[in-house]
Protein backbone atom coordinates (compact mmCIF):
# COMPACT_ATOMS: atom_id res chain seq x y z
CA UNK A 1 0.00 0.00 0.00
CA UNK A 2 1.14 3.52 -0.69
CA UNK A 3 0.56 7.19 0.06
CA UNK A 4 -1.65 9.07 -2.39
CA UNK A 5 -2.59 12.73 -2.73
CA UNK A 6 -5.73 13.23 -4.82
CA UNK A 7 -5.97 16.73 -6.28
CA UNK A 8 -9.58 17.82 -6.82
CA UNK A 9 -12.52 16.37 -4.88
CA UNK A 10 -15.24 16.57 -7.51
CA UNK A 11 -17.30 13.91 -9.29
CA UNK A 12 -14.20 11.78 -9.91
CA UNK A 13 -11.66 12.88 -7.32
CA UNK A 14 -13.74 12.22 -4.22
CA UNK A 15 -14.87 8.69 -5.18
CA UNK A 16 -11.31 7.89 -6.31
CA UNK A 17 -9.87 9.08 -3.00
CA UNK A 18 -12.41 7.04 -1.04
CA UNK A 19 -11.81 3.98 -3.22
CA UNK A 20 -8.06 4.06 -2.63
CA UNK A 21 -8.53 4.63 1.10
CA UNK A 22 -10.94 1.73 1.38
CA UNK A 23 -8.29 -0.44 -0.26
CA UNK A 24 -5.88 0.48 2.55
CA UNK A 25 -3.86 3.20 0.87
CA UNK A 26 -3.02 6.26 2.95
CA UNK A 27 -4.91 8.95 1.06
CA UNK A 28 -4.97 12.73 1.30
CA UNK A 29 -7.86 14.41 -0.48
CA UNK A 30 -6.89 17.95 -1.48
CA UNK A 31 -9.01 20.74 -2.94
CA UNK A 32 -8.46 24.48 -3.24
CA UNK A 33 -12.09 25.06 -2.22
CA UNK A 34 -11.78 25.38 1.57
CA UNK A 35 -15.54 25.50 2.02
CA UNK A 36 -15.71 22.13 0.29
CA UNK A 37 -12.90 20.61 2.37
CA UNK A 38 -14.54 21.91 5.56
CA UNK A 39 -17.80 20.21 4.61
CA UNK A 40 -16.10 16.96 3.71
CA UNK A 41 -14.13 16.95 6.95
CA UNK A 42 -17.46 17.05 8.78
CA UNK A 43 -18.76 14.18 6.64
CA UNK A 44 -21.00 16.24 4.36
CA UNK A 45 -20.77 14.58 0.95
CA UNK A 46 -21.92 17.07 -1.66
CA UNK A 47 -22.85 14.77 -4.55
CA UNK A 48 -26.10 12.93 -5.18
CA UNK A 49 -24.53 9.61 -6.05
CA UNK A 50 -25.87 6.24 -4.83
CA UNK A 51 -23.74 4.82 -2.03
CA UNK A 52 -21.13 7.58 -2.13
CA UNK A 53 -21.89 9.12 1.25
CA UNK A 54 -21.47 5.78 3.06
CA UNK A 55 -18.38 4.96 0.98
CA UNK A 56 -16.67 8.25 1.84
CA UNK A 57 -17.73 8.00 5.49
CA UNK A 58 -16.19 4.53 5.69
CA UNK A 59 -12.91 5.88 4.32
CA UNK A 60 -12.90 8.84 6.72
CA UNK A 61 -13.78 6.74 9.77
CA UNK A 62 -11.05 4.23 8.99
CA UNK A 63 -8.45 7.00 9.16
CA UNK A 64 -7.16 6.05 5.71
CA UNK A 65 -8.65 9.18 4.10
CA UNK A 66 -7.77 12.64 5.33
CA UNK A 67 -9.30 15.75 3.76
CA UNK A 68 -6.82 18.61 3.52
CA UNK A 69 -6.55 22.10 2.09
CA UNK A 70 -2.81 21.72 1.57
CA UNK A 71 -0.84 19.59 -0.90
CA UNK A 72 1.21 16.97 0.91
CA UNK A 73 4.11 14.72 -0.02
CA UNK A 74 2.96 11.37 -1.42
CA UNK A 75 4.31 8.58 -3.59
CA UNK A 76 1.39 9.15 -5.95
CA UNK A 77 -0.25 12.42 -6.98
CA UNK A 78 -3.52 11.95 -8.88
CA UNK A 79 -4.92 15.01 -10.65
CA UNK A 80 -8.72 15.00 -11.00
CA UNK A 81 -9.38 18.71 -11.49
CA UNK A 82 -11.95 20.24 -13.88
CA UNK A 83 -11.20 21.15 -17.49
CA UNK A 84 -13.94 23.71 -18.21
CA UNK A 85 -15.18 24.09 -21.76
CA UNK A 86 -14.83 27.47 -23.45
CA UNK A 87 -17.99 27.55 -25.56
CA UNK A 88 -16.83 30.46 -27.70
CA UNK A 89 -13.39 29.07 -28.54
CA UNK A 90 -14.60 25.43 -28.53
CA UNK A 91 -11.61 24.37 -26.45
CA UNK A 92 -10.55 23.26 -22.99
CA UNK A 93 -9.46 25.66 -20.28
CA UNK A 94 -6.38 23.97 -18.83
CA UNK A 95 -5.87 26.46 -16.03
CA UNK A 96 -6.79 23.98 -13.29
CA UNK A 97 -4.31 21.45 -14.71
CA UNK A 98 -1.56 24.06 -14.75
CA UNK A 99 -2.27 25.16 -11.18
CA UNK A 100 -2.37 21.56 -9.96
CA UNK A 101 1.00 20.89 -11.56
CA UNK A 102 2.50 23.99 -9.95
CA UNK A 103 1.12 22.99 -6.55
CA UNK A 104 2.80 19.58 -6.79
CA UNK A 105 6.29 20.99 -7.51
CA UNK A 106 7.30 21.75 -3.89
CA UNK A 107 6.25 18.26 -2.76
CA UNK A 108 7.61 16.25 -5.71
CA UNK A 109 10.41 13.81 -4.87
CA UNK A 110 12.46 11.28 -6.81
CA UNK A 111 10.52 8.06 -7.25
CA UNK A 112 7.08 9.73 -7.07
CA UNK A 113 4.37 9.21 -9.68
CA UNK A 114 2.05 11.89 -11.07
CA UNK A 115 -1.14 10.64 -12.74
CA UNK A 116 -3.46 12.88 -14.73
CA UNK A 117 -7.04 11.56 -14.79
CA UNK A 118 -8.80 14.73 -15.97
CA UNK A 119 -10.22 14.60 -19.49
CA UNK A 120 -7.91 16.71 -21.66
CA UNK A 121 -7.03 17.41 -25.31
CA UNK A 122 -4.37 15.09 -26.76
CA UNK A 123 -0.87 16.18 -25.85
CA UNK A 124 -1.76 17.85 -22.54
CA UNK A 125 0.22 15.47 -20.34
CA UNK A 126 3.52 15.94 -22.19
CA UNK A 127 3.09 19.44 -23.61
CA UNK A 128 1.43 21.19 -20.66
CA UNK A 129 1.82 19.22 -17.43
CA UNK A 130 5.30 17.76 -17.94
CA UNK A 131 7.11 21.11 -18.46
CA UNK A 132 5.46 22.51 -15.33
CA UNK A 133 6.45 19.54 -13.17
CA UNK A 134 10.01 19.62 -14.51
CA UNK A 135 10.40 23.12 -13.10
CA UNK A 136 11.11 21.14 -9.92
CA UNK A 137 14.47 20.17 -11.43
CA UNK A 138 13.36 16.55 -11.79
CA UNK A 139 12.90 14.82 -15.15
CA UNK A 140 9.69 12.99 -16.10
CA UNK A 141 10.31 9.33 -16.87
CA UNK A 142 13.71 9.38 -15.18
CA UNK A 143 13.29 10.95 -11.73
CA UNK A 144 9.53 10.68 -11.44
CA UNK A 145 6.82 8.79 -13.30
CA UNK A 146 4.24 10.70 -15.35
CA UNK A 147 1.06 9.05 -16.62
CA UNK A 148 -2.34 9.70 -18.12
CA UNK A 149 -5.09 7.34 -16.96
CA UNK A 150 -8.56 8.57 -17.98
CA UNK A 151 -11.66 7.86 -15.92
CA UNK A 152 -14.61 6.25 -17.69
CA UNK A 153 -17.38 6.16 -15.10
CA UNK A 154 -21.09 6.85 -15.41
CA UNK A 155 -22.96 9.02 -12.87
CA UNK A 156 -25.32 6.85 -10.88
CA UNK A 157 -22.88 3.93 -10.82
CA UNK A 158 -19.52 5.56 -10.10
CA UNK A 159 -18.31 3.35 -7.26
CA UNK A 160 -18.97 0.10 -9.09
CA UNK A 161 -17.47 1.34 -12.35
CA UNK A 162 -14.28 2.58 -10.66
CA UNK A 163 -13.70 -1.01 -9.64
CA UNK A 164 -15.06 -2.95 -12.58
CA UNK A 165 -14.32 -0.89 -15.69
CA UNK A 166 -11.23 -1.54 -17.74
CA UNK A 167 -8.55 1.14 -17.33
CA UNK A 168 -6.21 2.57 -19.93
CA UNK A 169 -2.77 3.64 -18.73
CA UNK A 170 -0.31 5.59 -20.82
CA UNK A 171 2.98 6.73 -19.32
CA UNK A 172 5.67 8.93 -20.80
CA UNK A 173 7.82 5.79 -20.72
CA UNK A 174 7.57 2.16 -19.65
CA UNK A 175 8.73 2.78 -16.07
CA UNK A 176 5.99 5.39 -15.65
CA UNK A 177 3.34 3.01 -16.93
CA UNK A 178 4.52 0.24 -14.60
CA UNK A 179 4.35 2.59 -11.59
CA UNK A 180 0.73 3.45 -12.35
CA UNK A 181 -0.20 -0.19 -12.93
CA UNK A 182 0.95 -1.03 -9.40
CA UNK A 183 -1.50 1.48 -7.95
CA UNK A 184 -4.55 0.70 -10.10
CA UNK A 185 -4.01 -3.03 -9.83
CA UNK A 186 -4.74 -2.73 -6.11
CA UNK A 187 -8.44 -1.97 -6.70
CA UNK A 188 -9.37 -2.36 -10.38
CA UNK A 189 -11.19 -5.62 -11.13
CA UNK A 190 -11.45 -4.95 -14.85
CA UNK A 191 -8.59 -5.30 -17.31
CA UNK A 192 -5.74 -2.81 -17.27
CA UNK A 193 -4.67 -1.88 -20.78
CA UNK A 194 -1.53 0.06 -21.59
CA UNK A 195 -0.72 2.39 -24.46
CA UNK A 196 2.57 3.34 -26.04
CA UNK A 197 2.44 6.88 -24.66
CA UNK A 198 0.33 9.31 -22.65
CA UNK A 199 -1.10 11.08 -25.69
CA UNK A 200 -2.65 7.85 -26.99
CA UNK A 201 -4.39 7.33 -23.64
CA UNK A 202 -5.80 10.87 -23.83
CA UNK A 203 -6.92 10.25 -27.42
CA UNK A 204 -8.64 6.94 -26.60
CA UNK A 205 -10.86 8.46 -23.92
CA UNK A 206 -11.95 11.22 -26.28
CA UNK A 207 -12.77 8.95 -29.21
CA UNK A 208 -14.82 6.68 -26.93
CA UNK A 209 -17.20 9.54 -26.14
CA UNK A 210 -16.97 10.98 -29.65
CA UNK A 211 -18.16 7.63 -31.05
CA UNK A 212 -21.27 7.79 -28.88
CA UNK A 213 -21.95 11.44 -29.70
CA UNK A 214 -21.57 10.81 -33.44
CA UNK A 215 -23.74 7.68 -33.31
CA UNK A 216 -26.48 9.62 -31.49
CA UNK A 217 -26.21 12.34 -34.14
CA UNK A 218 -26.84 9.70 -36.81
CA UNK A 219 -29.91 8.51 -34.92
CA UNK A 220 -31.15 12.08 -34.55
CA UNK A 221 -30.75 12.78 -38.24
CA UNK A 222 -32.56 9.53 -39.04
CA UNK A 223 -35.39 10.68 -36.74
CA UNK A 224 -35.71 13.98 -38.58
CA UNK A 225 -35.62 12.27 -41.97
CA UNK A 226 -38.19 9.68 -40.94
CA UNK A 227 -40.71 12.36 -40.04
CA UNK A 228 -40.67 13.57 -43.64
CA UNK A 229 -41.71 10.08 -44.74
CA UNK A 230 -44.23 9.41 -41.97
CA UNK A 231 -42.02 6.69 -40.52
CA UNK A 232 -41.49 5.77 -36.86
CA UNK A 233 -37.72 6.23 -36.55
CA UNK A 234 -37.42 3.99 -33.49
CA UNK A 235 -39.12 1.11 -35.24
CA UNK A 236 -36.82 1.59 -38.24
CA UNK A 237 -33.69 1.77 -36.09
CA UNK A 238 -34.62 -1.30 -34.07
CA UNK A 239 -35.19 -3.27 -37.26
CA UNK A 240 -31.96 -1.99 -38.79
CA UNK A 241 -30.10 -3.17 -35.68
CA UNK A 242 -31.19 -6.73 -36.43
CA UNK A 243 -28.28 -6.77 -38.88
CA UNK A 244 -25.24 -8.27 -37.11
CA UNK A 245 -22.97 -5.38 -38.10
CA UNK A 246 -25.32 -2.48 -37.39
CA UNK A 247 -25.68 -0.85 -33.96
CA UNK A 248 -27.43 2.52 -34.19
CA UNK A 249 -28.22 4.23 -30.87
CA UNK A 250 -31.58 5.85 -30.13
CA UNK A 251 -32.51 9.44 -31.02
CA UNK A 252 -33.24 12.04 -28.38
CA UNK A 253 -33.14 15.72 -27.42
CA UNK A 254 -29.39 16.05 -27.88
CA UNK A 255 -26.75 15.05 -25.36
CA UNK A 256 -25.69 16.38 -21.98
CA UNK A 257 -23.28 15.74 -19.14
CA UNK A 258 -19.65 16.70 -18.96
CA UNK A 259 -18.39 14.31 -21.64
CA UNK A 260 -20.39 13.84 -24.83
CA UNK A 261 -21.06 17.52 -25.65
CA UNK A 262 -17.46 18.49 -24.89
CA UNK A 263 -14.98 15.69 -25.62
CA UNK A 264 -15.38 15.87 -29.42
CA UNK A 265 -14.18 19.48 -29.31
CA UNK A 266 -11.23 18.51 -27.08
CA UNK A 267 -10.32 15.88 -29.65
CA UNK A 268 -9.87 18.51 -32.35
CA UNK A 269 -8.39 21.27 -30.22
CA UNK A 270 -4.88 20.86 -31.64
CA UNK A 271 -5.88 19.71 -35.11
CA UNK A 272 -7.54 21.17 -38.20
CA UNK A 273 -9.08 17.81 -39.21
CA UNK A 274 -12.39 17.99 -37.32
CA UNK A 275 -15.14 17.67 -39.93
CA UNK A 276 -17.66 14.83 -39.56
CA UNK A 277 -17.34 15.09 -35.79
CA UNK A 278 -18.04 18.83 -35.79
CA UNK A 279 -21.09 18.27 -37.99
CA UNK A 280 -22.35 15.61 -35.58
CA UNK A 281 -22.01 18.09 -32.73
CA UNK A 282 -24.11 20.57 -34.69
CA UNK A 283 -26.80 17.95 -35.35
CA UNK A 284 -27.12 17.13 -31.66
CA UNK A 285 -27.08 20.75 -30.54
CA UNK A 286 -29.79 21.62 -33.07
CA UNK A 287 -32.22 19.04 -31.71
CA UNK A 288 -33.62 21.69 -29.37
CA UNK A 289 -34.56 23.83 -32.34
CA UNK A 290 -36.22 20.77 -33.88
CA UNK A 291 -38.22 20.19 -30.68
CA UNK A 292 -39.40 23.81 -30.72
CA UNK A 293 -40.36 23.38 -34.37
CA UNK A 294 -42.49 20.36 -33.43
CA UNK A 295 -44.26 22.45 -30.80
CA UNK A 296 -44.66 25.38 -33.18
CA UNK A 297 -46.17 23.13 -35.86
CA UNK A 298 -49.02 22.26 -33.48
CA UNK A 299 -49.40 25.46 -31.46
CA UNK A 300 -48.45 28.12 -33.98
CA UNK A 301 -46.59 30.82 -32.10
CA UNK A 302 -45.09 29.79 -28.79
CA UNK A 303 -44.95 33.31 -27.42
CA UNK A 304 -47.11 33.45 -24.30
CA UNK A 305 -47.72 29.70 -24.29
CA UNK A 306 -47.04 27.58 -21.23
CA UNK A 307 -44.63 24.72 -21.94
CA UNK A 308 -44.14 21.94 -19.39
CA UNK A 309 -40.67 20.40 -19.34
CA UNK A 310 -40.48 16.92 -17.81
CA UNK A 311 -36.90 16.26 -16.79
CA UNK A 312 -33.89 18.54 -16.60
CA UNK A 313 -31.32 15.93 -15.56
CA UNK A 314 -29.15 15.17 -18.57
CA UNK A 315 -29.81 11.41 -18.31
CA UNK A 316 -32.32 9.11 -16.70
CA UNK A 317 -32.40 8.22 -13.00
CA UNK A 318 -29.75 10.69 -11.86
CA UNK A 319 -29.98 14.25 -10.55
CA UNK A 320 -27.09 15.57 -12.63
CA UNK A 321 -28.01 18.66 -14.67
CA UNK A 322 -24.61 19.43 -16.23
CA UNK A 323 -25.01 20.53 -19.87
CA UNK A 324 -28.66 19.50 -19.60
CA UNK A 325 -30.72 19.64 -22.83
CA UNK A 326 -33.82 20.22 -20.68
CA UNK A 327 -32.39 23.32 -19.03
CA UNK A 328 -31.13 24.64 -22.36
CA UNK A 329 -34.57 24.11 -23.89
CA UNK A 330 -36.09 26.11 -21.04
CA UNK A 331 -33.60 28.91 -21.67
CA UNK A 332 -34.25 29.02 -25.39
CA UNK A 333 -38.02 29.02 -24.91
CA UNK A 334 -37.78 32.04 -22.64
CA UNK A 335 -35.39 34.25 -24.59
CA UNK A 336 -36.34 37.89 -24.84
CA UNK A 337 -37.80 39.52 -27.93
CA UNK A 338 -34.51 41.30 -28.54
CA UNK A 339 -32.57 38.06 -28.44
CA UNK A 340 -35.10 36.35 -30.66
CA UNK A 341 -34.69 38.94 -33.38
CA UNK A 342 -30.97 38.20 -33.46
CA UNK A 343 -31.24 34.40 -33.29
CA UNK A 344 -30.69 32.56 -36.56
CA UNK A 345 -32.24 29.35 -35.24
CA UNK A 346 -35.72 30.78 -34.69
CA UNK A 347 -35.70 30.97 -30.90
CA UNK A 348 -39.04 31.58 -29.18
CA UNK A 349 -39.87 34.80 -27.35
CA UNK A 350 -41.44 34.78 -23.96
CA UNK A 351 -42.84 31.28 -23.50
CA UNK A 352 -43.80 30.47 -19.92
CA UNK A 353 -41.94 27.46 -18.55
CA UNK A 354 -42.83 24.99 -15.84
CA UNK A 355 -40.38 22.25 -14.85
CA UNK A 356 -40.80 18.91 -13.10
CA UNK A 357 -37.97 16.51 -12.30
CA UNK A 358 -38.33 13.86 -9.58
CA UNK A 359 -34.55 13.31 -9.34
CA UNK A 360 -33.16 16.84 -9.31
CA UNK A 361 -32.69 18.70 -6.02
CA UNK A 362 -31.56 22.21 -6.91
CA UNK A 363 -32.75 25.26 -4.99
CA UNK A 364 -31.80 27.53 -7.90
CA UNK A 365 -34.44 25.91 -10.13
CA UNK A 366 -38.17 26.56 -9.77
CA UNK A 367 -39.18 22.91 -9.78
CA UNK A 368 -42.84 22.01 -9.43
CA UNK A 369 -44.96 18.93 -8.88
CA UNK A 370 -46.08 17.03 -11.96
CA UNK A 371 -49.65 18.24 -11.46
CA UNK A 372 -48.63 21.90 -11.23
CA UNK A 373 -46.27 21.56 -14.16
CA UNK A 374 -48.86 20.29 -16.63
CA UNK A 375 -51.88 22.25 -15.38
CA UNK A 376 -53.01 24.70 -18.07
CA UNK A 377 -49.95 23.86 -20.18
CA UNK A 378 -50.20 24.22 -23.93
CA UNK A 379 -47.40 21.78 -24.61
CA UNK A 380 -45.43 19.18 -22.64
CA UNK A 381 -41.98 17.88 -23.56
CA UNK A 382 -40.56 14.73 -21.98
CA UNK A 383 -36.80 15.41 -21.93
CA UNK A 384 -35.33 12.86 -19.50
CA UNK A 385 -35.87 9.10 -19.33
CA UNK A 386 -36.46 8.73 -15.60
CA UNK A 387 -38.21 5.51 -14.58
CA UNK A 388 -40.96 7.59 -12.96
CA UNK A 389 -42.01 8.84 -16.40
CA UNK A 390 -42.74 5.35 -17.74
CA UNK A 391 -46.08 5.31 -15.94
CA UNK A 392 -47.35 8.75 -16.90
CA UNK A 393 -51.10 8.64 -17.54
CA UNK A 394 -52.27 10.21 -20.79
CA UNK A 395 -55.69 10.95 -19.30
CA UNK A 396 -54.13 13.18 -16.62
CA UNK A 397 -52.43 15.27 -19.29
CA UNK A 398 -55.62 15.58 -21.34
CA UNK A 399 -57.60 16.68 -18.28
CA UNK A 400 -54.97 19.13 -16.97
CA UNK A 401 -53.53 20.73 -20.09
CA UNK A 402 -55.08 23.59 -22.01
CA UNK A 403 -53.90 22.12 -25.31
CA UNK A 404 -52.60 18.54 -24.85
CA UNK A 405 -49.65 18.69 -27.24
CA UNK A 406 -47.04 16.19 -26.03
CA UNK A 407 -43.53 15.66 -27.40
CA UNK A 408 -41.75 12.51 -26.23
CA UNK A 409 -38.03 12.91 -26.99
CA UNK A 410 -37.05 9.65 -25.29
CA UNK A 411 -39.49 7.11 -26.76
CA UNK A 412 -40.86 6.22 -23.32
CA UNK A 413 -44.57 6.57 -23.97
CA UNK A 414 -46.91 4.39 -26.04
CA UNK A 415 -47.70 6.54 -29.06
CA UNK A 416 -51.00 4.83 -29.95
CA UNK A 417 -52.22 4.95 -26.35
CA UNK A 418 -51.51 8.67 -26.01
CA UNK A 419 -53.08 9.52 -29.35
CA UNK A 420 -56.18 7.48 -28.51
CA UNK A 421 -56.44 9.37 -25.21
CA UNK A 422 -56.79 12.65 -27.11
CA UNK A 423 -53.30 14.14 -27.10
CA UNK A 424 -51.57 15.58 -30.12
CA UNK A 425 -48.55 13.33 -29.77
CA UNK A 426 -45.11 13.63 -31.36
CA UNK A 427 -42.21 11.26 -30.75
CA UNK A 428 -38.57 11.66 -31.68
**pLDDT value, residue 408:** 98
Reference 317, options 153, 157, 152; nearest CA is: 157
Contact 151, 166 (CB under 8 A): no
Q: Write the pLDDT tens digit of every residue in 260-310.
A: 999 999 999 999 999 999 999 999 999 999 999 999 999 998 988 999 999
CATH of 287-427, one of 3.40.50.720, 1.10.10.60, 3.50.50.60, 2.90.10.10: 3.40.50.720
Q: Write the pLDDT tens digit of every residue in 231-261.
A: 999 999 999 999 999 999 999 999 999 899 9
Q: Does the structure show a pLDDT above 60 at 336?
A: no
Q: Average the pLDDT over 85-105 and give the result.
A: 95
**pLDDT value, residue 349:** 53
> Is residue 75 annotated as a catalytic residue, yes or no?
no
Task: Give the integer Cα–Cα distance in Å for 251 and 102.
Answer: 43
Task: Give residues with Cβ within 8 angstroms of 378, minimum separation 6.
Answer: 299, 305, 306, 307, 401, 402, 403, 405
Task: Give the integer Cα–Cα distance in Å for 62 and 56.
Answer: 10
CATH of 206-285, one of 3.40.50.300, 2.40.40.20, 1.10.1040.10, 1.10.3720.10: 1.10.1040.10
Task: Give the integer Cα–Cα distance in Å for 388 and 356.
Answer: 11
Query: Rounded to 5 degrees, what are φ and ψ at 105?
Result: -50, -50
The domain made up of 3-196 has a fold known as: Rossmann fold (3.40.50)
Return the SS3 of 76. Answer: strand
Residue ranges matching CATH 1.10.1040.10 in the chain: 206-285
From the candidates 5, 80, 149, 259, give the one annotated as an active-site residue: 259
Q: How far is CA 296 from CA 326, 405, 415, in A?
A: 17, 10, 20
Contact 310, 381 (CB under 8 A): yes
Number of helices (H), then strands (E), belonging to the chain: the values are: 18, 15
Q: Write the pLDDT tens digit of every residue in 40-86.
A: 988 888 777 889 999 999 999 999 999 999 999 999 999 999 999 99
Residue ranges matching CATH 3.40.50.720 in the chain: 3-196, 287-427
Q: Write the pLDDT tens digit of every residue in 193-225.
A: 999 999 999 999 999 999 999 999 999 999 999
From the candidates 75, 80, 149, 205, give the one annotated as an active-site residue: 205
> Is residue 419 annotated as a catalytic residue, yes or no?
no
Amino acid sequence: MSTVCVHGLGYIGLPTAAMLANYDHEVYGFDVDTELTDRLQSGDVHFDEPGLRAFVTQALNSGQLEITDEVVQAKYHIICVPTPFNETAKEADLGYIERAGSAIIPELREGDTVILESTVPPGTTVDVLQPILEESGLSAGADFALVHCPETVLPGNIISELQQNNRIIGGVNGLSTEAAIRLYDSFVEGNIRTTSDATTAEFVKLIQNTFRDTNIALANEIARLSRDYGIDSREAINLANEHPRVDILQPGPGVGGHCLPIDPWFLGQNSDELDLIANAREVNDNMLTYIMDLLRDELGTLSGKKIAILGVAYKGNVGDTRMSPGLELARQLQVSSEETAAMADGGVAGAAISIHDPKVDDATLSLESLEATITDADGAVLMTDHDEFKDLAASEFVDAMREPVVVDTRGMLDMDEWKDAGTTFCRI
